[in-house]
Amino acid sequence: MRFGPASDLRVARETCVPPEKFVDMVQIDLHSPPGTTGLIPNAVIGRLSLYVRELQQLIRQNVETVNSDGLARPLGLTAAQVRKDLAYFGNFGLRGIGYRCGELLDRIRAILGTNQRWPVILVGAGNLGRALLGYRGFADHGYDFIAAFDNDPRKIGTHLAEQIPILNLESARKIVQTAGVRLAVVCVPTDVAQEVVDFLCASGIGGILNFAPVNVSAAKPVQIVNVDLAVELEQLSFAVVQRVRSS
Amino acid sequence: MRFGPASDLRVARETCVPPEKFVDMVQIDLHSPPGTTGLIPNAVIGRLSLYVRELQQLIRQNVETVNSDGLARPLGLTAAQVRKDLAYFGNFGLRGIGYRCGELLDRIRAILGTNQRWPVILVGAGNLGRALLGYRGFADHGYDFIAAFDNDPRKIGTHLAEQIPILNLESARKIVQTAGVRLAVVCVPTDVAQEVVDFLCASGIGGILNFAPVNVSAAKPVQIVNVDLAVELEQLSFAVVQRVRSS
DNA sequence: GTGTGTGAAAAACTTCACAGCT
DNA sequence: AGCTGTGAAGTTTTTCACACAC
């Protein structure tokens, strides 16, 4: 089965907003809050994602408004923490009422940049890569895989999930640039992870989510988040042997 | 292809130590350190896992000793942080030299309980579950999948990776108890995640690594770690739009 | 000299508690 | 009356800097 990369990609691209928009949206909302430095704590961002998930669930249940405790408790957080987190970005609540679920969801998505869809590329079409490509959560949060890259000649030219083309890694540069792709998910073997990351950085990618179990570093403006699944299991097994700390 | 669950499992079990041993090993090493409460910060445990990975890499390169800076820098941490983290558990270093890689690796593994292998069960044999089962990192860190569970009758009775049986979820209780399994990895659809977790808790599991994108809660002594892959991507996209914070 | 282990200082983050809006 | 937004207090975690050991 043959395909023309450019045309495959153009379709996916159409649904995506020019990335530059996001920057403005976020910066408008930032109202450098109470007694803080102006930088948003990393932990806050992690929790915003959790709020999104919880709000989506509430909305599915037709809940109109939720107060800080209602949002916090199912996530194992405190009401004060929720209010503080949201206050970093503005006054989203209604005193005496709480937060309108729909509105709050929109606001948080605007902050995270997920009120528009992001095109994402996958590098490494092995087991894990293929599973991630089918992972519902990514699509639910606004991320669309538009292409995959691999260096196995037997895979190149085929498609994943019947529509995502697997291309030669060399062609990633062009696609990153022409399709305005800013995010890449990397699932390649450990020993080539760093060179793949270097290549992506040189291609003008904005951020990399790395699943290879090795700490790779990225050239300056490129953001990198390393996910090591074994680390999570180790956290857990430590907690089990200790029987302390809730995590 | 038929199989007898009990015999399939016994083999995997043989390679595993009775879990009770771990508790002692860890508690002996804990020397409730400098000026602290005696509880180990969660973040420290996360970093111990990273040290393991880095040490494994150094050992593969035949590096004998490493100092705190050498361990910290590739992981994006500071030397002081490494020393402080390790000091929670004892004096592992040699002044003027650093740390012996092999010895430190053993020590950390003893702390994490991964100096012996752990039998793990997989619940939910969909795409993600199957990919996790093949994920190298788990085996590298001492975790062995011994069985998978699903409720799809077409899957039950088959094997994953040609040796891991897929069984009916009901049979999990018996296997947890007879094989001394303390850890489960859950990759089921969101809507059944909580009931699966409840079932596992009732079966006597020790800890659950949950990949379903919903916050599930576990009955008291059971530890739970939620991993939401979309959260990681959101962290990244926020960093990309902001171009701040290294994470 | 080199590099750990660790108190002390600083920074980051969380919780408290309450004024003030609806 | 109910619940947010936020200073202030409290706690945790990180960084600093140096005495001490090899």
Per residue in A122-157, pLDDT (tens digit) is 999 998 999 999 888 899 899 999 999 999 999 999
By Cβ distance, the residue of A46, A49, A242 closest to B26 is A242
Confidence of residue A19 (pLDDT cuts 50, 70, 90): very low
Check residue A100 and give left, alpha or beta (phi > 0: left; psi -120 to 50: alpha). Answer: beta
The candidate with the shortest Cα–Cα distance to A205, out of A126, A137, A123, is A123
Confidence of residue B123 (pLDDT cuts 50, 70, 90): very high
More confident residue, A40 or B194: B194
pLDDT over 70 at A232, yes or no = yes
CB contact under 8 A, A234 and B130: no
Residue in chain A closest to B137 (alpha carbons) equals A230
H-helix segments, B63-125: 68-72, 79-87, 101-112
At residue A41, the pLDDT reads 86
CB B98 within 8 A of CB B67: yes
Q: Among A118-127, B161-170, B210-219, where is mean pLDDT lowest?
A: B210-219
Which positions on chain D have an atom < 7 Å from some protein CB?
1-8, 12-17, 20-22
Residue in chain B closest to A118 (alpha carbons) equals B237
A186 touches chain B (CB under 8 A): no
B66 touches chain A (CB under 8 A): no
At residue A162, the pLDDT reads 86
Which nucleotide is nearest to B35 if distance is taken from CA to C1'?
Answer: C7
At residue A25, the pLDDT reads 28
Interval B26-65: pLDDT, tens: 333 445 444 444 578 888 999 999 999 999 999 999 999 9
**A65, β-bridge pairs:** A100
Distance CA(B40)–CA(B56), nearest Å, equals 23
3-state secondary structure of B127: helix
Measured between beta carbons, the chain A residues lying within 8 angstroms of B42 are 235, 245, 247
More confident residue, A111 or A220: A111
Measured between beta carbons, the chain A residues lying within 8 angstroms of B141 are 230, 233-234
At residue A59, the pLDDT reads 95
Protein CA B34 to sugar C1' C7 (Å) = 8
Q: Among A160-174, B30-44, B85-99, B195-209, where is mean pLDDT lowest?
A: B30-44
Give pairs for B83-87: CB < 8 Å, separation 24+.
B84/B34, B85/B44, B85/B47, B85/B48, B85/B51, B87/B33, B87/B34
DSSP state of A98: B
At residue A243, the pLDDT reads 64
B62 touches chain A (CB under 8 A): no
Task: Give me the A residues in range 20-59 that sit within 7 A (CB) of strand C.
Answer: 37, 41-44
pLDDT over 90 at A28, yes or no = no
Calculate mean pLDDT across residues B123-147.
92
Percent of chain B with pLDDT over 90: 66
Q: Among A101-110, B40-49, B169-178, B211-220, where is mean pLDDT lowest?
A: B211-220
pLDDT over 70 at B145, yes or no = yes
At residue A202, the pLDDT reads 96
pLDDT over 80 at B88, yes or no = yes
Instruction: Please state the separation of Cα B178 from the chain's center in Å.
Output: 21
At residue B42, the pLDDT reads 81
Measured between beta carbons, the chain A residues lying within 8 angstroms of B183 are 233, 236-237, 240
Distance CA(A209)–CA(A122), nearest Å, equals 10
The candidate with the shortest Cα–Cα distance to A199, out of A218, A180, A175, is A218
CB B175 within 8 A of CB A205: no
Q: Please, is A134 exposed, middle or buried when counting C-beta atoms within 10 Å of its C-beta (0-12, 13-18, 19+)? A: middle
At residue B26, the pLDDT reads 34
Is the CB of A36 within 7 Å of strand D? Answer: no
Taking CA atoms, B4 is separated from B7, B144, B166, B172, in Å, by: 6, 19, 11, 14
Is the CB of B65 within 7 Å of strand D? Answer: no
CB B146 within 8 A of CB B82: no
Is the CB of B100 within 7 Å of strand C? Answer: no
3-state secondary structure of A115: coil
At residue A1, the pLDDT reads 31
At residue B37, the pLDDT reads 45
A139 touches chain B (CB under 8 A): no
At residue A38, the pLDDT reads 57
A28 touches chain B (CB under 8 A): no
Distance CA(A110)–CA(A140), nearest Å, equals 15
Give the tokens for residue A200.
């992506």
More confident residue, B233 or A40: B233
Letter for the amino acid at A72? A
Confidence of residue B102 (pLDDT cuts 50, 70, 90): very high
B76 touches chain A (CB under 8 A): yes
Q: Please, is B172 exposed, middle or buried when counting C-beta atoms within 10 Å of its C-beta (0-12, 13-18, 19+)? A: buried
